[in-house]
Amino acid sequence: MEVRARAPGKIILTGEHAVVHGSTAVAAAIDLYTHVLFRLPSPSENHGSVELELKDLGLVFSWPSLRLEEAFREMGSLPSTPGPCPPDYMQIITRLVRARAPGKIILTGEHAVVHGSTAVAAAIDLYTHVLFRLPSPSENHGSVELELKDLGLVFSWPSLRLEEAFREMGSLPSTPGPCPPDYMQIITRLVEEKNIPEANIALCSGLYVFLYLYTSIHRFKPAIVAVTSELPLGSGLGSSASYCVSLAAALLALSDSISVDDGKNDWLTLEGSNLDLVNKWAFEGEKIIHGKPSGIDNAVSIFGKVLMFKSGDLSQVQCTLPLRMLVTNTNAARNTKALVAGVSNRVSRHLGAMHAVFAAPLTLLAKN
């Protein structure tokens, strides 16, 4: 069954703004139309979604029918006569997704872990927060917007600009993996278009991660993304990993790629089967920022608690008492990528000596 409808546009001859304030306006219909085609799928199609195709923009949006039913169940009864859209109804339509991920402290093996030794790390109760909001139709918001609230910076890319830029790629990544060189070249150009001041140039890697994860997972659909963090940048507390983890988790939830339990505290709760997927995407983000990370930062941010980590293998350290640690911020920022490269250089020049240094903390751990 198909239903077609069309409606003309208009031209206001006089009183366009005055009519809002009670004055008279004169308007006429014009012979330019918006066309809508509704089609009910046949039983053989097994099509269980509500799909909206904006043909002029080349965009398709789809919502599983069961997802819509679940989302609006809390409303009780839905509107059936014309009237203002209730606020709680609009909240469901616009859909907010919040995610947060903790920072970390590495107790031992911070650089050794990159070279195959064991490290011990713990999650800390300082978080990076990410808020995703899908704009409502009335907002006419056709961009992907990233707001770094702590820095007072906003970056925006029109969805059509992103689609145009990545068209030459053919197919985009849809599973976690290293960012292809040609993909990174496109991302770099998109960031360079923003003419970021030299004082904020260190932020570029974070923007690269955002565009890579966003376009890989959520493609080019408009959204407003706000990021805040309780973690100081460049302090060794895993701010970049918590950023990558919270960003990946929110994107995967927004795209219905992972199952989400909407708890009463409004926080995103991931099921165990989805943790690995978030971890893999976050690790690819960490690679963009740090070059050759061990993976311990994102692993601790994902799985929490106290972990032993070696060459990608995790084991949880059983703690019967809560750990209380005093961490002092020297306010001297460090570049993890440069530090890792420096240690790697020492390893290449003094292999035996550096392996002895890496092994020493593990000897102490074994004794205790």
Q: Is 32 helix (H, G, I), strand (E, B) or coil?
A: strand
pTM of the model: 0.70
- Which is more confident, 85 or 178? 178
CA–CA separation, 221 and 329 (whole Å)? 39
Number of residues assigned to the chain? 368
Lowest mean pLDDT segment, chosen from 82-96, 113-127, 293-307? 82-96
Catalytic residue, chosen from 88, 182, 297, 313, is 297
Q: Is 338 a residue whose pLDDT tops 60?
A: yes
Q: Residue 265 — very low, low, confident or very high, per pLDDT cuts 50/70/90?
A: very low
* Selected residue with higher pLDDT from 184 and 42: 184
Is residue 149 over pLDDT 90?
yes
Q: Which residues share a beta bridge with 39?
A: 2
Nearest to 62 by CA among 273, 219, 248, 247: 219
Across the range 274-284, mean pLDDT stands at 94
User: Measuring CA to CA, how many Å separate 352 from each of 112, 114, 342, 349, 355?
Assistant: 13, 16, 16, 9, 5
Q: Is the pLDDT of residue 112 over 90?
A: no
Residue 346 has pLDDT above 70, yes or no: yes
Average pLDDT of the chain, as a whole number: 85
Domains of the chain with bracketed CATH: 2-67 (no CATH), 94-107+124-304 (3.30.230.10)
For the stretch 204-261, pLDDT in tens is: 999 999 999 999 999 999 999 999 999 998 888 999 999 999 999 999 988 878 866 5
Catalytic annotation on 297? Answer: yes
Answer yes or no: is pLDDT of 56 > 50.
yes
The answer, yes or no, to whether residue 34 has pLDDT greater than 60, is yes
Q: Tokens at residue 245, please?
A: 């983890």
How far is residue 228 from each of residues 98, 148, 149, 192, 246, measured CA to CA in Å? 11, 6, 6, 23, 11
According to the model, what pLDDT value does residue 268 have?
54
* Residue 182 pLDDT class (50, 70, 90 cuts): very high
Q: Of 126, 75, 82, give the one whose Cα is nearest residue 228.
A: 126
* Percent with pLDDT over 90 in the chain: 43
**pLDDT given for residue 260 in this prediction:** 63
Is residue 333 pLDDT above 60, yes or no? Answer: yes
**By percentage, how much of the chain surpasses pLDDT 70?**
92
Alpha-carbon distance of 59 to 147, in angstroms, equals: 24
Output Rg (C-alpha) for the chain, integer angstroms: 25
- pLDDT band for position 101 (cuts 50, 70, 90): very high
